[in-house]
Amino acid sequence: MPTTPWLQWMLAIAMILTALYHIGHFVAAPPRVRRSKLDVDLTHAAMGTVMAIMLVGSLTSHTSRNLAIAFAFPAMWFAWRTGHTYVIQGVRAIGHPLGQVLICTAMIYMLMASSAQPTAAMSPGMHMGGMAMSHGGGVDLTLSRMLQVLLVAAILGAAACTATMWTRRSRSSAGCPPGSALAPTLTSVSQLAMEGATAYMLVLMF
């Protein structure tokens, strides 16, 4: 799929800002909040940095493969959190951890696809279909495309949920002191930015 360089640069900047926000949140948050958000802050800081590089730079195949393995750990952690939350609080409470599972899964998929390329760059023109095609195309390519479609749909669904929760939170905090909703708002914005950039990068793979 044709790329749009200016959009990729804008998304890369948004990802760097997202990474910086989560690093700052981790450093500045009170100890109790820091402990409860440690997994999200560290994962998003790392993911924002890697996504920015993939959008406007390049990664070697070896680095992409190692990063995919690294992101498998937060994916498994958030999958455990999703199951635990479901057991304790029910299905309505699993939206946030499940969204993290989806983003990590998409990241792993993109990195594995990149690792199949001679030079794993996301830069203009790259469709990232090398993983499926390097295994012979045909059925593998069809399955790869189906997985991409499912991931895009799931990420967009997660973005819709994030936007809905952000709207509800904004309404509920309308009478709160000024500035009290700043951190939750920035967290929602960074989450939406990451989900949007992830969906865009997946679409580039077609």
pLDDT digits (tens, 9 = 90+) for 9-44: 999 999 999 999 999 988 887 787 777 788 999 999
Q: What is the pTM of this model?
A: 0.82
Domain spans in the chain, listed from the N-terminal domain onward: 5-204
Q: How far is CA 37 from the centre of its chain?
A: 16
Beta bridge pairs of residue 121: 58
Q: What is the per-residue pLDDT for 188?
A: 86
Contact 120, 128 (CB under 8 A): no
Q: How confident is the model at residue 125 (pLDDT cuts 50, 70, 90)?
A: very low
Residue type, position 82, single letter: T
